[in-house]
Amino acid sequence: MKNTATLLICCPDRKGLVAAIANFLYTYNANILHADQHQDAAEGLFLMRVEWDLADFTLSIDAFGAAFQPIAERFGMQWKLALSANRPKMAIFVSKYDHCLVDLLYRHQSGELACDIPLIISNHDDTRRLAEFYGIPFHVINVTKDNKAESEAQQFALLEQYQVDFIVLARYMQVLSQEFVKRYPQRVINIHHSFLPAFEGAKPYHRAFERGVKLIGATSHYVTEVLDDGPIIEQDVIRISHRDSVEDLIQKGRDLEKVVLSRAVRWHVESRILEYAKKTVIFD
Amino acid sequence: MKNTATLLICCPDRKGLVAAIANFLYTYNANILHADQHQDAAEGLFLMRVEWDLADFTLSIDAFGAAFQPIAERFGMQWKLALSANRPKMAIFVSKYDHCLVDLLYRHQSGELACDIPLIISNHDDTRRLAEFYGIPFHVINVTKDNKAESEAQQFALLEQYQVDFIVLARYMQVLSQEFVKRYPQRVINIHHSFLPAFEGAKPYHRAFERGVKLIGATSHYVTEVLDDGPIIEQDVIRISHRDSVEDLIQKGRDLEKVVLSRAVRWHVESRILEYAKKTVIFD
Amino acid sequence: MKNTATLLICCPDRKGLVAAIANFLYTYNANILHADQHQDAAEGLFLMRVEWDLADFTLSIDAFGAAFQPIAERFGMQWKLALSANRPKMAIFVSKYDHCLVDLLYRHQSGELACDIPLIISNHDDTRRLAEFYGIPFHVINVTKDNKAESEAQQFALLEQYQVDFIVLARYMQVLSQEFVKRYPQRVINIHHSFLPAFEGAKPYHRAFERGVKLIGATSHYVTEVLDDGPIIEQDVIRISHRDSVEDLIQKGRDLEKVVLSRAVRWHVESRILEYAKKTVIFD
Amino acid sequence: MKNTATLLICCPDRKGLVAAIANFLYTYNANILHADQHQDAAEGLFLMRVEWDLADFTLSIDAFGAAFQPIAERFGMQWKLALSANRPKMAIFVSKYDHCLVDLLYRHQSGELACDIPLIISNHDDTRRLAEFYGIPFHVINVTKDNKAESEAQQFALLEQYQVDFIVLARYMQVLSQEFVKRYPQRVINIHHSFLPAFEGAKPYHRAFERGVKLIGATSHYVTEVLDDGPIIEQDVIRISHRDSVEDLIQKGRDLEKVVLSRAVRWHVESRILEYAKKTVIFD
């Protein structure tokens, strides 16, 4: 694994932008590994992701902000720097359905996800043995209608204690409070078991079955204050037929959910996602 | 092309059904070419499609109804017999977007669709030259806010004159009246340019673009009295990305619309569709 | 789970076949749950799968063979009866790549695969801890160039001891001997990491990368005496681009391999596969 | 339609490349619309496509070469400039199967393909009426075993007369001579009706049917001196089953062939394809 830096930029589109960024990086002898950019003509926006090898880079990371600030101000940039050496810390929330959890833990172990998993939080004890197999601390926090504020307070305490950067809801069957969502803006990834915006809310497979659709889907998205309405990160579908019962939909959907959620997590971990206008750009 | 008969059956599921049908066909020396059946456990229904060669069949088609009636009554069957010799008559309704029309006419000419096309009806003159190229009578019936009843009366007259069996709305940009829909129940096929039930109604590509979905879809369905709510016959999707503008969505969507509509038309023509519980079974 | 019987039939296509089978089942009061049949016009063959509930069935399973034999002889049938109560015993062979093994064990535990897994055999010790987590006996049998006959003899002894019905090669990196293949005809399922017949043999991802294909695939098939040439059970593909390195292909391919192999295993377990003319019919 | 220039670059990857190009374009006040680049780490190559609006560009196109030459030499670039104002001239070669021809002509008419079609060449007269409908000159050149050199001489004369830039073989059933291929390097696009490298050569659908594959494919590629071996531009597949006869494969495959070929043509027309190491990079 190379030691790299990744810069994400979003700003109004103007001439000279790429030249300014490229000259800056060249000045400090950056060896660019990947660069991808997007101009949104309708919104007049410029979005960019550039990743470079830090081996020959002559600017210290501590001094990066001060050195880059003049360019950022000149072009009105929102920007973010991520270092491969700083692996983000991901908390996984799960309830009883464990297929997404199993999938994420295996992918993490096999090196697909360049993040750390300091803890798993569940409202049930069912997946404890699995967490232990992978050596991840496991915390049960019971959630009821009446104790949501209290249970979320416990969750916040754990998230801060473990310095968690982002949270993945791996089929976690509780709706987060507005406070929770505001606390982790664009830092909570959910998997919804439908092709959003179709079948928002509860029991999407049952409703897909009743409507008689010919494909079922899954959608990973950032959680916002409106249920199932956040920016979509990834979606996929699979074909079904009249031979499939609701149970078959649920089973086939599991394979979709796993794949769609894991792609979203991977792109988040690798700083490949830029959010704007309630949508996402994926630099893959 | 073989001279065949196709029987579609829907009834409560009961023991002895298949034996009764198979014995009936064997009695008259039917050479079964294709048979497909489906049991819906939740609804307690039995659905079947069976197609046989008429070459050795010893029962005359005129006598089929009387001979089959005792079985149909015993099991409470809804049934329908279709003959390959009686090609269904399809009317195509179109506005200005001509991609689905071009596709259907070409497939028809190349032998993919075993139906006749006695006429095309449009509210614009734009596709007349195309209709003439394929030698199909073309009728322009102007539709405005104020003359819908009158224009539909003209349409009904043409549909009756040409003895039309079913109607395909090939991106026809007018909503049919309730009266029209009631007159042709399960006999009007529409193509909607979204993955229903997402983006029902107007401008689905624009709304898909705004929502930031990662796949766009198309849906063919039977037209019912509720807009975009009829039984779904076929759906498909294609991947898009942030690089795609609304215009790109519209262009990519055209390919989907063509393929999805043509599959639905083919299945309808070949008596492969059974509707029940607001859904369709496709015996493909 | 219902207590069911499944009958697979393959024979020359003749009139009266369906009537004979349906009458036989009706005579003994079978409640048919699923029936699917296929006529291959080119080969003149009839293939059928029928599954019924044993609850009301008045013929004892022990007497089935004798009762069905006259029909089987009359029509020259090859047939096979499978009982849901007799779960097939599956051995998994694995080397170091563990993604397919992890996937199969999780699906088995979650109830997707109606079989038993009496043992795992590996030529390496790497996956022992995983096997123990799922409580499956784990045997290491070392394989070298020089000891193949000996190591296979050990494998045969274990397979017989555990009364194994079929074997899944979950990325097992050894070629089985002709003797092995003959001993388990149509009972060894392999996963090959390409879209066969493209890239048969070694290192398919590397060769796909070099050839510059735009999709990579995976293929599950029965093992025959010719490498990667057995009847194909299932295939699928995923899109790649110039941005993908060989390592990316390997990683993306893992998701394909898991899904494709698990479908093949499920269909085999549920007696949904009929082999003929070096091909498979899947009654799904 | 904007008046734009597109620059395609391929060279050894070195620091300062992007800065040099961006500075050059900024110097002449280019308004960059799209930029995409790719670093191939294994080959040590840098590949780029950049498209800009010519409205504000202060360098005349005639002077572009001289002005850019120093940068090109410094970095050892192969480069090519394409102007949206210079629509490429495409000749279509066709035999009797007309589905790809119909598709290309319709897409061209509807504005999807930003090229001119000065002529169609066929070895049969069958598609003349279609060519006339779209107003494209149509030439029949008979090809036999014995007159290949002579017939190609006639083809060359026409291609030169009409100043053709590239050739699309829309299911043209003749193999081009080595001389032809050398004359139009990377300028002849073919559609092969299989997922290459599976089923190279004749009758791929028949061979796919015999092998029992579960998906069929289509591949568009540049023609080189080895049959079906040129750099792949695009591929796609569609699922089939045991219910599909060879005729069904041929019919389903037609839809694939049309879509795959038209994507390749579009990318070629829009200068989105860079060829290297016998592969293609698609800047889409």
The one-character DSSP state at B87 is P
Residues of C in contact with B19 (CB under 8 A): 19, 22-23, 25-26
Q: How many beta-carbon contacts under 8 Å exist across C and D? A: 83
Q: Which of B62, B228, B244, B284 is catalytic?
A: B228
Q: According to the model, what pLDDT value does residue C194 have?
A: 97
Q: According to the model, what pLDDT value does residue A202 have?
A: 94
Residues 6 or more apart in contact with residue C8 via CB below 8 angstroms: C48, C49, C79, C80, C81, C82, C271, C274
Mean pLDDT for the stretch of residues C41-69 = 95
**Cα separation values, D169 from C49, D258, D264, Å:** 45, 12, 12
What's the CATH fold of domain A4-83? Alpha-Beta Plaits (3.30.70)
Q: Which of A32, A281, A284 to mutate to test the interface with D (most CBs of D within 10 A)?
A: A32
Is A102 close to C106, i.e. CB distance below 8 A? yes
- Among chain B, residues having any CB pair with chain C shorter than 8 Å are 15-16, 18-19, 22-23, 25-26, 29-37, 39, 41
Quick one: what percent of chain C has pLDDT higher than 70?
Answer: 100
> In Å, how far is A20's CA from the nearest CA of chain C?
25
Q: Which of D36, D228, D236, D244 is catalytic?
A: D228
Structure-token pair, residue D271: 């200068």
Q: What's the rounded Cα separation, in Å, for the pair D172 and D151?
A: 14
Q: According to the model, what pLDDT value does residue B208 have?
A: 97
Q: What is the largest CA-CA distance in chain D?
A: 63
> In Å, how far is C159's CA from the nearest CA of chain A?
29
Is D33 close to A16, i.e. CB distance below 8 A? no
> D114, D161, D97, D81: which is closest to D2 by C-alpha?
D114
| Contact between residue A100 and residue A131 where contact means Cβ atoms under 8 Å apart | no
Per residue in C2-31, pLDDT (tens digit) is 999 999 999 999 999 999 999 999 999 999
pLDDT-derived band of residue D41, with 50, 70 and 90 as boundaries? confident
Extract the residue ranges of chain B whose pLDDT is less than 70.
none
Strand runs labelled E in chain A: 4-12, 31-40, 45-53, 78-83, 89-94, 116-122, 138-140, 166-169, 188-192, 215-222, 232-239, 273-276, 279-282
| Contact between residue C144 and residue C171 where contact means Cβ atoms under 8 Å apart | no
In this complex, which of C26, C36, C39 lies closest to B15 when CB atoms are compared? C26
Is A33 close to D39, i.e. CB distance below 8 A? yes
Residues of B in contact with D255 (CB under 8 A): 259
pLDDT of D271 above 90: yes
Q: At what angle do helices A17-27 and D17-27 cross, to 10 degrees?
A: 140
Structure-token pair, residue C147: 């000891």
The per-residue pLDDT of chain A, averaged, comes to: 96
> C117, C119, C102: which is closest to A99 by C-alpha?
C102
Residue D130 CB coordination number (10 Å): 18
Residues of B in contact with D243 (CB under 8 A): 284
Q: According to the model, what pLDDT value does residue D1 have?
A: 75
What chain B residue is nearest to C44 in terms of C-alpha separation? B33
Q: What's the rounded Cα separation, in Å, for the pair A150 and D258?
A: 60
> In Å, how far is A58's CA from the nearest CA of chain D?
13
Q: Exposure pattern of C260-269 as b/e (b: 16+ CB <10 Å)?
A: bbbbbbbbbb
Residue whose entry in the numeric block shows the structure tokens 């215009």? B247
In this complex, which of A15, A31, A41 lies closest to D15 when CB atoms are compared? A31
What chain A residue is nearest to B275 in terms of C-alpha separation? A212
Q: What's the rounded Cα separation, in Å, for the pair C127 and C11?
A: 44
> B244, B214, B241, D25: which is closest to A42 by C-alpha?
B244
Q: Locate the domains of chain A by residue range.
A: 4-83, 89-282
Residues of D in contact with B133 (CB under 8 A): 133
Q: Which of C116, C228, C229, C248 is catalytic?
A: C228
Q: At what angle do helices A17-27 and A61-75 cross, to 10 degrees?
A: 160
Is D99 close to B112, i.e. CB distance below 8 A? no
For C89-282, CATH gives 3.40.50.170
Residues of C in contact with A99 (CB under 8 A): 106, 110
Per residue in D225-237, pLDDT (tens digit) is 998 999 999 999 9
| Contact between residue A225 and residue A278 where contact means Cβ atoms under 8 Å apart | no
Q: What's the rounded Cα separation, in Å, for the pair D280 and C250?
A: 20
| Contact between residue A37 and residue A47 where contact means Cβ atoms under 8 Å apart | yes
What chain C residue is nearest to A284 in terms of C-alpha separation? C243
pLDDT-derived band of residue C187, with 50, 70 and 90 as boundaries? very high
Q: Which of C33, C255, C257, C261 to mutate to test the interface with A (most CBs of A within 10 A)?
A: C255
pLDDT-derived band of residue C284, with 50, 70 and 90 as boundaries? confident
Q: Which chains form contacts with chain C, at 3 or more CB pairs under 8 Å?
A: A, B, D
> B160, B152, B146, B140: which is closest to B181 by C-alpha?
B152
Structure-token pair, residue B150: 């009158």
What chain D residue is nearest to C273 in terms of C-alpha separation? D242
Q: What's the rounded Cα separation, in Å, for the pair C193 and A40?
A: 39
pLDDT-derived band of residue D72, with 50, 70 and 90 as boundaries? very high
Q: According to the model, what pLDDT value does residue D117 have?
A: 98
Q: According to the model, what pLDDT value does residue B193 have?
A: 97
Is A38 close to B243, i.e. CB distance below 8 A? yes
- HEC profile for A7-63? EEEEEECCCCHHHHHHHHHHHCCCEEEEEEEEEECCCCEEEEEEEEECCCCCCCHHH
**Helix, strand, or coil (residue A79):** strand
Is A18 close to D32, i.e. CB distance below 8 A? yes
The per-residue pLDDT of chain D, averaged, comes to: 96
- Among chain A, residues having any CB pair with chain D shorter than 8 Å are 15-16, 18-19, 22-23, 25-26, 29-37, 39, 41
What chain A residue is nearest to B281 in terms of C-alpha separation? A242
CA angle B46/B52/B53 to nearest 5° reads 175
Q: What's the rounded Cα separation, in Å, for the pair B114 and B136?
A: 16
Helix boundaries (H) for chain B? 17-27, 61-75, 99-109, 128-133, 148-161, 178-183, 204-211, 246-269
Q: How many beta-carbon contacts under 8 Å exist across A and C? A: 13
Model ipTM value: 0.94
Per residue in D203-213, pLDDT (tens digit) is 999 999 999 99
Is C214 close to D234, i.e. CB distance below 8 A? yes
In this complex, which of D243, D259, D284 lies closest to B255 when CB atoms are compared? D259
pLDDT of C243 above 80: yes
Q: What's the rounded Cα separation, in Å, for the pair C61 and C84?
A: 12
> B85, B172, B168, B84: which is closest to B119 by C-alpha?
B168
Q: Which of D4, D13, D14, D18 to mutate to test the interface with A (most CBs of A within 10 A)?
A: D18
Residues of D in contact with C195 (CB under 8 A): 195, 198, 215, 217, 237
> In Å, how far is D212's CA from the nearest CA of chain C?
5
What chain D residue is nearest to B256 in terms of C-alpha separation? D259
Extract the residue ranges of chain A whose pLDDT is less than 50.
none
Is D281 close to C242, i.e. CB distance below 8 A? yes
Residue whose entry in the numeric block shows the structure tokens 């620091």? D15
Per residue in A134-188, pLDDT (tens digit) is 999 999 999 998 999 999 999 999 999 999 999 999 999 999 999 999 999 999 9
> B254, B232, B252, B263: which is closest to B102 by C-alpha?
B254
Pairing of strands C4-12, C78-83: antiparallel
Is D255 close to B259, i.e. CB distance below 8 A? yes
pLDDT of D276 above 90: no
Residue D228 annotated as catalytic: yes
Cross-strand pairs, A8: A49, A80
